[in-house]
Every structure is written in structure tokens, then in C-alpha cells.
A and B are shown apart, each in its own frame.
Chain A
Amino acid sequence: MLKINNLHASIDGKEILKGLTLTVKPGEVHAIMGPNGAGKSTLASVLAGKDDYEISEGSVDFEGKDLLEMEPEDRAREGLFLAFQYPVEIPGVSNINFLRAALNAKREYHKMEPLSAKDFMALVREKSKIVELDAKLASRAVNEGFSGGEKKRNEIFQMAMLDPKLSILDETDSGLDIDALRIVANGVNTLKSENNATIVITHYQRLLDYIVPDFVHVLYNGKIVKSGPKELALELEEKGYDWIKAELGETV
């Protein structure tokens, strides 16, 4: 589904990703962990198409297409979804109207008829249940005045509505209390199927108690330096990232 090969990306002349390679297959959950500044959020941004980054080397193949050549909206329409670490507040834009426009833009891209108002609202009711999102929140302005937990639930609600092939959760756990974390994780698990895949980016192992990964990768200094089964996350939690640095022969 996703093949990242030797990806180098820089911002303002500073190289952040320094040869990152990762392959994700349908049905898999990959966790990417790493210390602050390792390049986790850069990876998420580059995949979603944020144009602040310059790609100097490497390739990203998504479902047989060159992802890096696509506009952000086309990446979304092809089935890529990024749950933002910091969802943007957009006053005056209704959550529902924006989602409907986005969903219909995706359908148009795939040469499908737009969803009727009735079918759309039925879908909203169905999907908002997954993350226990109050119907009132769904119709308010995008993220405006939402609590941290509501914003993250809204991200997963949007994910449910858009039904992506590949979801990237960028530190979705940051700032969440345990109840919100459980709701969000439960939402992600409900949406999981053998046809879609998830990349969970996180600093802490805590989220992985709820969203159990098939693979754990350690991102450090712009590269994946270690990969392993889910137990790797526990080991990291216990030993800390210094352990990785030591293993790499760096002085701490």
C-alpha cells in the first residue's frame, strides 16, 4: 500500500528526514515512536503534502502512484488521511458542510454521484457514534471552542466519514485523558479492516495499549533505526530513548 524509500526532506535548509524507508501493507498497524525532534511529525506532514518541506531524495509510492507528485487534496481523495496533532480551528466554517464538500469532492474524483443530504446525514449519525461525538459538535464550526479531546475525536470522526485506505495518526494521544484516549482508540480499532492500514505516530507507549500495532519502528535522527514487534514499544517505555542512542553508539 505504502512504500517509502530513502526519503530525505528538509525545511528552511535543515534536513529532518535523512533516508527513511518504510513499507506498509493492507491490514497492518505500524507504530512509529521516537524522541522529540526525531522527525515524526515531519514524516506525517510530508506524506499529507504540506508544502513547507523540500524533498531532496527518495520516493513514496502509494497504491502504485507517486504520492509526492500529488496535491494534498488528491492524496486525500486517493485514500490518505492525516489526523492532525494540532487540529486547526476554523471559525465560521461548519464542520458538517465542510465534511460534505470534502466527501463529495472525493466522490467526484472517483466519478461517483454526490451523496444526497439525507444519506449524508444518516452517515453522520452512524459515524459520530463511533467516537461518541455529540451531534451538536458535528454541526458547529470546525474545532472552534472544542476541548482537546473533542478535537481529537473530531479527527477520528472525519476519518470515519472519509473512510481512508491509509490513516496516519500524528500524536493523536497528546493531551488526552484516559477516557478520551480510550474513545479515540476504540474509534480507530472499529474502523480497522483488512483493506486499510494505520500508522500511529506517538511519543509514548500508552496509546499502544489500546491500538495494538503489528510493527513498532523507532525513528531517530531522521531515520528508522530499529523495528520490531509490539513488545519493542514496552522495551522503549522501560529503557527510554537513551537506550537506542546507546545502542547506536552515541554518547548520551
Chain B
Amino acid sequence: MEVAVENIVHKFTKAISDNFSGGVFPENVRNKALADLQENRFPTTRDEYWKYTRVKRISTKSFKTQHGKISSIESMKITDLDSNVVVFVNGFFAPQFSDLNILKNSGVEILSQSKIEPKFVEDSGHIFDQLNQAFATDGVQIHVAKNVVLEKPVEIIHIQTGNEVMNNLFHNIEVERHAQAQIVMSFYSSDAENCFTNLNTTIRVQDGAHLRVSKIQTEDNSNYHISTENVSQEANSNFTINTITLGGELVRNNLNIKVDGQNCETNLHSAYILKENQHIDNHTVVDHRVPNCVSNELYKGVIDDKATAVFNGKVFVRMDAQKINAFQSNGNVLLSNDATINSKPELEIYADDVKCSHGSTTGQLDEKAVFYLRSRGMGEKQARELLVQAFVGDVLEKLDEPVRNSVEQILETRFGWEVMA
């Protein structure tokens, strides 16, 4: 048994290694990750952290490292968003589509041109993190200097193309004291099948800094995506992340936020809208280690056909972390009898003067509301769409307008929704 398990990882890493050279991590980090991989195995549903998500679809494939060609990013750039664009195709920086000069002035570096410092490497023991450290081909390092307010958002477009290609990317984002920045990350497929994006991002929001991140995951439904964000917040900082998941056959988001300073605000908003055989798994951790902070978590999902969603949200309030206000809510609407949601909100509180709440709801569309809308002349399909949109509306309205418009555009083409908002 041991031998067989080892072989799967070995086979997996060998396929990726073939075309791989360099990478963004220093040699010693890479070598350690490669050595750790030899000892590791892919998780199964017997592992609590992967209880509802099977990765066999990923682990049995032979992904390769491969450059890809894209003719245009026109349809992928967010319309009306005045941003500085960085594009990665199959995990490799695509300078021809990127605003290179402006980016440098904004504190954005391309990692393949300047290796990541080992201090940003986390040793989690997770196989996908190890794969990332061993095989990350590129990424960005965004460094917003003290007191700088980044005028335009940085828009990072990730594109996968080809067949059985793995994209390993690493981003490092640091917003220094009292600086302010906004980052949009989008994920697309272009003639991609069975491609796998494995992204690790470390984020540090320093004292008094503000950072807003919006993620739009809209890869085609035959592709895989695992994202891990490790965020740490220092005192008086404000961090918001909006995760909109619309595409991908298997998507897993690991969002780990450590709130390490007092008077922080943390916002996690997400909408996932699934159909066909999609499987989306959101694991979030908000770790309140110190007093006097606020966190708001709102995850909402609409699940149709045979799709499955997983929500596992943990909130820790450590001993002596008093006066914490932590709110968490996960709401789901199932549109078909075969749709599934596994929702597990978890609060672990070790302080005694806190205000925390969590809730999870799962239901169907309100048939009384459907009838009410129809009785006014609205067609049944339109009425149902409108109610679904209204359900995720309070998440979508957290997005900035151009981003929101872009999401609505995707909903229109992907799900045939007529936008009414």
C-alpha cells in the first residue's frame, strides 16, 4: 500500500518536472519541497480537511508544465476597470499583455525575474503547497510602500490553455504601514481541458493599511483549481476579500487569515454559482489572536444540477482576545434535487467577552415568491432567475461596479441570466 501511494505522487511530480526549469523559489526551498513530496500522499476523504472533496480527478492525471499561447486578452480584461494589468498564461508571465513599466512604479515585481525570499515560505505540510513550492513557475510580488495609496487596482489575469497542463503560481502581497491597495485576480480558460491551477498567495497587511482583493474564478468546467491564501493582519488594518466562483470542475479555496493586531477589520464575502457537475469547496479560517477586532464572513451559494458545494468556515477567538465581534453566515439555495451542500460553520471561542454568531441555511427558492412574480406577468424562468440573483445580490453588491458588471456579464453568458439589477 505504501509503495502504491508513493508511486502516485512520484508519477505526478515526474510529469510536471519534465519541462520545468528554474521556478520562483530558491533552490533550497525547492529541494526541501521535493523531498517532502516523496514522503507525502494525496489526501483522501478520510482526512478531515478533505472530507467532502475527492482529489482523485487531479491525482490520477499526468499534468505537465507547458507554455501556452493566447492571441488576445480582450474578453478577459474587466471592462471599465482602470487598472494595471499583469497576465500569466499557464503560470508564465506574459509581458506582451501586461503594463510592465507602470507596474514597476506601482511596486509590482515579476517573480521569475527576482526570486521569492525564503521568509515568505510557509511549511504547512499540505501536498498542494509542496507542489507549489517545488514547481511554481511565476507570480507577482506586490509591495506597496509605506503611506502609498495605489491609484489603480492591479489586475492579475490568470489564463490556462492546453490539455493536462498544471499552472503553479505564487503571489506575495505586502501592503506597508498606512498604504492602500486593491487587487483583482481573475482566472480564465482558453481552449483548456483538464488543466489545473494551483495558486499560493501570501498577504501581509501592515499597521493601518487597507487591502481589498477580488477574485473571479471562471475557468471552464473541465478544469481544476486550488487556491491557498495565507493572510496576516497587523494592528488597525483592514482586509477585504471577495471570492466569486462561477466556473471550474473542481475548485478548492483555502483562505487562512491571522488577525495579529488590535482594531482590525476583516471582511470575507463569497458567491458561488454552480451547475452541471461542478464541485466547489471553500475552507476559511479567521484566527482572532488579539482583542478588539471585527470580522464579517458572508458566503452564499446557488447550486443547480448535480453540482456540490462545501463550506467549512472556522473562526477562532483565542484566549484573552476579548471584545471580538465575529460574524459568519453561509446561505445556500439548491435548485435541483441532485444538488448538494455540505456546510460546516465552526466557532472556537476561548475568550469570554466576545460577540460572535454563525449561521448556515439551506433551502430552495421560495415558491410563494415565484408565484407572486408570475402573477404579475413575469415568466417562470425570469422569475426564478430574478430570485436567484436577489439571493446572491448582497454579496455581489460588495464588489466595485466594474467588477460586478463583469461578473454579471459572465452570469449572462454562462447561465443565460438576463441581468436585471
Q: SS class of chain A's interface: helix, strand, loop or mixed?
A: helix
* Residue of A48, A72, A97, A102 with most chain B CB atoms under a 10 A cut-off: A72
Q: A109, B390: Cβ atoms under 8 Å?
A: no
Contact residues, B339-391 vs A (CB, 8 A): 366, 368-369, 371-380, 382-383, 386-387, 389-391
Q: A49, B375: Cβ atoms under 8 Å?
A: yes
Contact residues, A123-159 vs B (CB, 8 A): 141-142, 158
Bound-complex Cα distance A75 to B378 (A): 11
Q: B391, A90: Cβ atoms under 8 Å?
A: no
In the complex, chain B residues whose CB is within 8 Å of the CB of A81: 375
In the complex, chain B residues whose CB is within 8 Å of the CB of A102: 373, 376-378
In the complex, chain B residues whose CB is within 8 Å of the CB of A50: 371
Q: Is B4 an interface residue (CB 8 A)?
A: no
Q: A93, B386: Cβ atoms under 8 Å?
A: yes
Q: Is A92 an interface residue (CB 8 A)?
A: yes
Give A109's nearest chain B residue, CB to CB: B377
Give A159's nearest chain B residue, CB to CB: B376
Given A88-B366, A91-B390: A72 and B382 interface contact (C-beta under 8 Å): no
Least CB distance from B369 to A in Å reads 5
Give A87's nearest chain B residue, CB to CB: B372
Given A90-B387, A92-B390: A105 and B378 interface contact (C-beta under 8 Å): yes
Q: A106, B377: Cβ atoms under 8 Å?
A: yes
Q: B377, A88: Cβ atoms under 8 Å?
A: no
* Residue of A103, A109, A142 with most chain B CB atoms under a 10 A cut-off: A142
Q: Is A216 an interface residue (CB 8 A)?
A: no
Bound-complex Cα distance A72 to B371 (A): 8
Least CB distance from B284 to A in Å reads 23
Least CB distance from B21 to A in Å reads 51
Give B386's nearest chain A residue, CB to CB: A93
Bound-complex Cα distance A99 to B373 (A): 9
In the complex, chain A residues whose CB is within 8 Å of the CB of B383: 73
Q: B382, A88: Cβ atoms under 8 Å?
A: no
In the complex, chain A residues whose CB is within 8 Å of the CB of B379: 73, 105
Bound-complex Cα distance A106 to B376 (A): 9
Q: Is A77 an interface residue (CB 8 A)?
A: yes
- Candidates A92, A97, A99, A141; contact of B376 at CB < 8 Å: A99
**Binary CB contact string for chain B from 394 to 407 against chain A (1 if under 8 A, 0 otherwise):** 10000000000000
- Candidates B374, B382, B391, B393; contact of A71 at CB < 8 Å: B374
**Binary CB contact string for chain A from 35 to 72 against chain B (1 if under 8 A, 0 otherwise):** 00000000000001110000000000000000000011
Given A90-B390, A92-B393: A158 and B372 interface contact (C-beta under 8 Å): no
Bound-complex Cα distance A242 to B364 (A): 43
Q: Is B420 an interface residue (CB 8 A)?
A: yes
Q: B371, A90: Cβ atoms under 8 Å?
A: no
Given A71-B380, A88-B368, A92-B393: A76 and B386 interface contact (C-beta under 8 Å): no
Least CB distance from B378 to A in Å reads 5
In the complex, chain A residues whose CB is within 8 Å of the CB of B387: 90, 93
Q: A93, B374: Cβ atoms under 8 Å?
A: no
Bound-complex Cα distance A90 to B390 (A): 8
Bound-complex Cα distance A92 to B374 (A): 17
- Candidates B372, B389, B394, B421; contact of A88 at CB < 8 Å: B372
Q: Is A219 an interface residue (CB 8 A)?
A: no
Q: B378, A90: Cβ atoms under 8 Å?
A: no
Least CB distance from A142 to B in Å reads 8
Bound-complex Cα distance A109 to B373 (A): 16
Q: B375, A72: Cβ atoms under 8 Å?
A: yes
Least CB distance from A185 to B in Å reads 22
Least CB distance from B329 to A in Å reads 14
Least CB distance from A96 to B in Å reads 11
In the complex, chain B residues whose CB is within 8 Å of the CB of A82: 375
In the complex, chain A residues whose CB is within 8 Å of the CB of B389: 92
In the complex, chain B residues whose CB is within 8 Å of the CB of A75: 375
Bound-complex Cα distance A91 to B377 (A): 19
In the complex, chain A residues whose CB is within 8 Å of the CB of B366: 88, 90
Given A92-B390, A93-B387, A105-B382: A76 and B372 interface contact (C-beta under 8 Å): no
20 additional A-B residue pairs with CB within 8 Å, beyond A73-B375, A88-B371: A48-B371, A49-B374, A50-B371, A71-B374, A72-B374, A73-B377, A73-B380, A76-B375, A88-B368, A88-B372, A90-B372, A92-B393, A97-B420, A98-B373, A98-B376, A102-B376, A105-B377, A105-B378, A141-B390, A142-B372
In the assembled complex, 30 residue pairs joining A and B whose CB atoms fall closer than 8 Å, in A order, are: A49-B374, A71-B380, A72-B375, A73-B375, A73-B379, A73-B383, A75-B375, A77-B377, A81-B375, A84-B375, A88-B368, A88-B371, A90-B366, A90-B372, A90-B390, A92-B389, A92-B391, A93-B373, A93-B390, A97-B421, A98-B373, A98-B378, A101-B378, A101-B420, A102-B377, A105-B377, A105-B378, A106-B377, A158-B376, A162-B376
Q: Using a CB–CB distance below 8 Å, which chain A residues touch chain B?
A: 48-50, 71-73, 75-77, 81-82, 84, 87-88, 90-93, 97-99, 101-103, 105-106, 109, 141-142, 158, 162
